[in-house]
Amino acid sequence: MRCSSGLCVSCRNFVAWSEPIVTGWPWLGSTAIGLLALFLGGCRDAPPTYPVMGSVYFQGQPAAHVDLVFYDANPAADGRLRPYATTDENGRFTVSTYGVHDGAPPGEYEVALSWKGPLRGRSPDQTDGMPERLPARYLNPATSGVRIQVDRGDNQLEAIHLTAK
């Protein structure tokens, strides 16, 4: 979930976009961190996040490389924050909002899920144009049937079980 334009202004996208700069060129690290602090200074009203971990199963088996996007279930929410996660090889995930694995703000979420593939030698970030493995209802948070609650503190979610029907 990287910024496609390269002109990132939101807190979450700026953090994700800046990661290669900080790790790629050490002399730019302090400059990037300074810019990050400048941009995050405008995000003081950003809600705090709390750790969220879970797992996804399809037809009873762990589902690797499933993308999850969490939509605020409150209709009055402005919808700008979209916590997200991708499952690992064992179907486990940790949610990110502003930075890597930082969790999600408290609240109730409807979840959209996508599972492209099969990968067959491709990396998980090369899934554009691949067929969707999940039924279409899972792509829409309103029809997926997956709702979660994030509370203050650590959140270990019940396993999400998906079916082909």
CATH pick for 52-162 out of 3.40.190.10, 3.40.50.970, 2.60.40.10, 3.60.21.10: 2.60.40.10
Q: What sign results for the dihedral spanned by CA atoms 16, 21, 27, 32?
A: negative
Query: Could you give the C-alpha distances from 134 to 1, 5, 161, in angstroms and in order?
Result: 20, 29, 12
* Model-wide pTM > 0.85: no
Task: Tell me what pLDDT residue 119 has.
Answer: 67
| Domain residue ranges of the chain, discontinuous segments joined by + | 1-46, 52-162
Q: What percent of the chain has pLDDT over 70?
A: 68
Task: Tell me what pLDDT residue 5 has.
Answer: 37
Q: Which of 16, 15, 12 is nearest to 2 (CA)?
A: 16
Alpha carbons within 13 angstroms on the beta-carbon side of residue 2 total: 9
Which range of 27-36, 77-86, 114-123 scores highest in mean pLDDT? It is 77-86
Q: What sign results for the dihedral spanned by CA atoms 141, 146, 149, 153?
A: negative
